[in-house]
Amino acid sequence: VSSLSSGAELDLLLDIGSIERTIRDPFRLLRFGPDLERRFESDMAESRCRSMRQLNLIGLGIYHLTLIGDYQVFYDVFYLKLFVHFVVCTPIFILVHTVLSRKPPVWLREGLEAVALIILSAMVVMVFAASNSPYRDISHLALALITLFAVLTQRMRFWYVVGFCLAVLAMNVIGS
């Protein structure tokens, strides 16, 4: 320990010790210890918020582009689809974008993202239920794409993604 020349090296050793304790403890429920969690947040919070904001804008753009195909699939309730896109989902994602620009705490950042995507999924199920189109079953693919966006693109934290996936599964089962 006497060969340590700076506080940064000592911090590194403490972080490594914290990581090793986390790996050895199988009952942590896939969470870091409080010290490691604080360090991770202090290092990553700003870039995480920036990344989420950018990906949300891209996702919202792609979501609105799906209206082109939705016009053919949901021709009987297309007015409802337009309402959902522009009056419900877009304002929610503007709100999320605004909150993320203020670098909120992790529970708010991840929770708000999960809730926004749950609402988006609920809107897909609602349009599915309202439509009599013979092609409406394709909306199940939309739920799969929203789930992939949450898990692979946004990389929400594990327990938030578990809650999101369970909510989408429940909506899919109940709405079908």
> How far is the C-alpha of 39 from the C-alpha of 36, rounded, in Å?
5
pLDDT tens column, 103-144: 899 899 999 999 999 999 999 899 888 889 888 888 888 888
pLDDT of residue 174: 83
pLDDT of residue 94: 93
Helices vs strands, H then E, count in the chain: 8, 0
Please determine, for residue 9, whether its predicted confidence score (pLDDT) is greater than 70. no
> How far is the C-alpha of 168 from the C-alpha of 176, rounded, in Å?
12
> How far is the C-alpha of 91 from the C-alpha of 123, rounded, in Å?
14
Which of 15-24, 65-74, 75-84, 133-142 shows the lowest mean pLDDT across its residues?
Answer: 15-24
Give the pLDDT mean for 72-78.
91
Please determine, for residue 161, whether its predicted confidence score (pLDDT) is greater than 60. yes
> How far is the C-alpha of 12 from the C-alpha of 23, rounded, in Å?
16
